[in-house]
Structure 1
Amino acid sequence: MHVAIGSENPVKVNAVERVVPDAESVAVAVESGVPEQPWGREETVRGAGNRADAALAATDADYGVGIEGGVAERAVPGGVWLVMWAAVTDGERTQYGAGPSILLPDPVAQRLRDGEELGPALDDELGREELGRQEGAIGVYTAGRVGRTDALVDAVAGAFGPFLRESGD
């Protein structure tokens, strides 16, 4: 199996490789087709799907995988939440999977509402650099109990599941 991953972010690549460890994988820098800070489930899902399509189109892989993190404002329960989605396509159909979601603190949420992106806002709030290439917001706000790779594995496994079940892998 040959898998094209629509990102060169090592956390995203590692998540895919954990789900399909025997696959030959290639990381491809592609555009998501959504804003740098996706808002809402629809925009985040669309970004993941766009990345999967673009990765597949740029290679001769069997599957394209896209992963997109975003934020979503929810009325119940209230606040701004971290969301993450993955998409896997074989060129004929696309399957989706979601990762865990977590409430972001009010100061971070307000910065996002004011137009900032989550990664830079968190880096600034926490005095860190490139948190998104490390444990991510999910790692910070679960005190390291769930890292970004772990969370993305769930999303990728959910998206890859139907293909793997059908192929017997």
Structure 2
Amino acid sequence: MKISIGSKNPSKIGAVKSIFACDEVISMNVPSQVSNQPFSDSETKEGAIHRATGSLTASSSDIGIGLEGGVMNVDDKLYLCNWGALVTRDDIIFTGSGARVLLPEKIGAELQKGIELGDVMDDYAHKKHIRKKEGAIGILTNNQVSRKEMFIHVVKLLYGQWEYWKQN
């Protein structure tokens, strides 16, 4: 089977390849059609769906997957959030979400200025390209959970829903 993922990010590609290990996985740059820094569950989920449908449309794959990271407000505090979408050729859309981690106020303040989380995290952690490696989740959990692991969980949710749908 051929799987397309609407991203060139190594963490996201690695997550999809971990779950679809026996399948051909192709990656492509697909726009999320949402803000560079999504600020809600709804917007982050929408970005994942756009990436999934865009990768499916732009390829000959059997299913398309989109993974999107964002932030969301809970009780006036910003949390990291992430969403995934799996889209079939029959236009069936499966979605799932994963970990939520409170962002330090300093990070939230920078995000409110319009700076993207990946750039804020590079500065915060004094590292480069965090979004392509451990991600904000890796930094904030002291590497107990990496960005790839976080997205593996989301891809498992998508895969399980899709697998159940195929059986029923």
Fold match by TM threshold 0.5? yes
Among 83, 88, 92, which residue is 2:86 paired with?
Answer: 88
Structure 1 residues not aligned, in runs of 5+: none
User: Could you report, residue by residue, the CA deviation over 1:110-130 in whole angstroms, capped at 9, with x for unpaired residues?
Assistant: 111121110001101111111
Structure 2 residues not aligned, in runs of 5+: none
Residue 64, structure 1, aligned to residue 74, structure 2: no
Distance 2:159 2:54 in 1: 17
Distance 1:167 1:46 in 2: 24
Q: How much has 1:165 moved relative to structure 2?
A: 2.8
**Would you say the 8 A contact 1:97–1:157 is kept in 2?**
no
User: Where does residue 162 of structure 2 map in the other structure?
Assistant: 163
Distance 1:118 1:139 in 2: 13
SS in 2 for 1:8: coil
**Would you say the 8 A contact 1:41–1:83 is kept in 2?**
yes
Distance 2:45 2:135 in 1: 19
Distance 2:147 2:116 in 1: 17
The alignment's C-alpha RMSD in Å is: 1.1
Q: How much has 1:85 moved relative to structure 2?
A: 0.4
SS in 2 for 1:72: strand
User: Where does residue 129 of structure 1 map in the other structure?
Assistant: 128
**Would you say the 8 A contact 2:125–2:139 is kept in 1?**
no
SS in 2 for 1:65: strand
Q: How much has 1:26 moved relative to structure 2?
A: 0.3
Residue 109, structure 1, aligned to residue 95, structure 2: no
**TM-score (structure 1 length as normaliser):** 0.95
**TM-score (structure 2 length as normaliser):** 0.95
Matched AA of 2:57? A
**Would you say the 8 A contact 2:5–2:28 is kept in 1?**
yes
Matched AA of 1:155? V
Residue 150, structure 1, aligned to residue 149, structure 2: yes
Q: How much has 1:97 moved relative to structure 2?
A: 1.0
Distance 2:165 2:35 in 1: 34
User: Where does residue 26 of structure 1 map in the other structure?
Assistant: 26
User: Where does residue 51 of structure 2 map in the other structure?
Assistant: 51
User: Could you report, residue by residue, the CA deviation over 1:85-121 in whole angstroms, capped at 9, with x for unpaired residues?
Assistant: 0000003210001111100101001111121110001
**Would you say the 8 A contact 1:4–1:56 is kept in 2?**
yes
| Count of matched residue pairs | 166
SS in 2 for 1:14: helix
**Would you say the 8 A contact 2:7–2:28 is kept in 1?**
yes
